[in-house]
Amino acid sequence: MRIAYQGEPGAYSEAAALRYSDHADLIACESFEQVFAAVAEGRVSHGILPVENSVGGSIHRNYDLLLEHDLPIVGEVQIVITHNLMALPGTRIDQLTRVFSHPQALAQCERFLRTLPHVKVEATYDTAGSAKLVRDQQLAGGAAIASERAAQVFGLEILRPGIQDFADNITRFIIVSRVAEDDRAADKTTVVFSLPNEPGALFKALSVFALRDIDLSKIESRPIRGRAWEYLFYVDLPLGRHDPRCARALVHLAEFARSLRTLGSYPSWKSREAAPASQV
């Protein structure tokens, strides 16, 4: 198995990929777009992408990219995110003038950063990439917010561990592939649909699930490009699409939805964690 992830070695996406498969061959990419391209072109078998953080919310770009590519979701991973402030060895916190990290990481450490009013906060493309930047440019007054592994990889010293605002800082990642896998073990399905712009349309859409006692574990709306004030709705259902309730609900929804697409039916992380080691 070859898994593409966004970021440098030490990125949280790398940790999530190893959590999904500890024997996988990992390929680093600079952007989310490059992860999708690597899978689509067959250079890797799978790609891993963050889609939601329990503190910072959704990573909208990856929802948009799911729609742009015909790559089914085949799994998911959840990991606890622990952010650390790191700098060149021997640096003191009172010597810092700049702190670098990904915008999501900066948002997740907002309270701590407010205790450093003399420091300029600068957003970068990656947490581990920020650590690499400090190392490569030997930034005496620079620091990065990244994982403990990133500090080890790039030879930085952790000045403050665990600086995230909330202890239950969890990120959910999805796994995409070129070919849908056997979904008989699936207990989660992700769909995206659009609706006519008329009164009660969303109520009718949600009712197809409520009438069958199907919970929605997530619902996310995204604007439809080129059609102002019209939206796509991404929904996670805690059922595999082979389940009769799920299948009937989607058939019902298709009767009045303008568009409907199943993005994947796959084992949830909860079920994967509960499975015997021989089945993972």
- Positions marked active-site: 171, 173
**Cα–Cα distance between 171 and 39 in angstroms, integer?**
22
209: left (phi over 0), alpha (psi -120 to 50) or beta: alpha
**Cα–Cα distance between 71 and 259 in angstroms, integer?**
18
Q: How far is CA 60 from CA 23, 64, 65, 116, in A?
A: 30, 7, 9, 29
Handedness of CA 256, 259, 265, 268 (dihedral sign): negative
